[in-house]
Amino acid sequence: MSESDSPKSAGEDVARRVLILFAHPALEKSRVNRRLIDAVRQLPGVTFHDLYEAYPNFMIRVEREQELLEQHDVVVMQHPLFWYSTPALFKEWQDLVLEHGWAYGSQGRALHGKLLLSAITTGGREAAYCAEGMNRYTIRQLLAPIEQTTRLCGMRYLPPFAVHGSHAMPEQTIEAHARDYRRVIEALRDDLLPLESTQGLRRLNLDLESLLGAQHAQ
């Protein structure tokens, strides 16, 4: 489902409007990402925008994308980790949409003050993403280009929501991650996420009970 088919957040009475930019070139093969988006795509105040559905030929409508960004307070970049980065369409989106003079530069203030969250899935387990692991770097380190891009645009980057080990993940664990993802999106929307408490976390969903409090559990 692209944003043109999804419920709009403009008229919702929420603290923050959330835009989920989703990119997965083979969604039909995904178990984890499909369940994550099912958990959040119909939430009030949330606009779900499937980039590969909207732009199957990579012909991105830059002005429309910029308009969407301006209409929302929180931007979520959700995608599987592809070669330690984003799927190709997400890179094309960044190259075209985040223009000098609009997103950054002395006159580029369109995104200032907005929040950005990376929501990432990996096939490998979390133990592989550390100095001693096969991939040598943490997810937070591998996402440094996105974090720096966020800061260049005057936005605030949050620790990533990371789901590891998707290839062999049992259904019960997938459901637990989907519930956690919904809680995070709702907390961002409702201004219930203690932003200062997230600093230094390697991933946002490390311990949501401590971060959000058990009283917010669904």
CATH of the domain at 66: 3.40.50.360
User: Residue 2: its pLDDT value, please?
Assistant: 52
Confidence of residue 207 (pLDDT cuts 50, 70, 90): confident
Q: How far apart are CA 158 and CA 9, in angstroms?
A: 22
- Domains identified in the chain, total number: 1
Q: How far apart are CA 154 and CA 215, in angstroms?
A: 33
For residues 121 and 33, the answer to whether their CB atoms sit within 8 Å is: yes
Contacts with 5 (C-beta within 8 Å, 6 or more apart), sequence order: none
Confidence of residue 98 (pLDDT cuts 50, 70, 90): very high
For residues 154 and 175, the answer to whether their CB atoms sit within 8 Å is: no
Q: How far apart are CA 101 and CA 159, in angstroms?
A: 27
Place of tokens 């489902």: 1
Bigger pLDDT: 97 vs 29: 97
DSSP per-residue codes, 50-85: EHHHH-TT----HHHHHHHHHH-SEEEEEEE-BTTB
pTM for this model (two decimals): 0.91
Mean pLDDT on 58-76: 98
Determine how β-strand 46-50 pairs with β-strand 18-22: parallel
pLDDT at 12 > cutoff 90: no
Which of 2-16, 43-57, 102-116 has the least mean pLDDT? 2-16
Confidence of residue 54 (pLDDT cuts 50, 70, 90): very high
Helices (H), the chain: 32-40, 51-54, 62-71, 88-97, 139-142, 144-152, 171-189, 208-212
Confidence of residue 148 (pLDDT cuts 50, 70, 90): very high
pLDDT at 64 > cutoff 50: yes
**Domain range holding 87?**
3-216
Confidence of residue 28 (pLDDT cuts 50, 70, 90): confident
pLDDT tens by residue, 172-183: 999 999 999 999
Query: Alpha-carbon torsion 158, 182, 188, 69, what sign?
Result: positive
Bigger pLDDT: 215 vs 93: 93
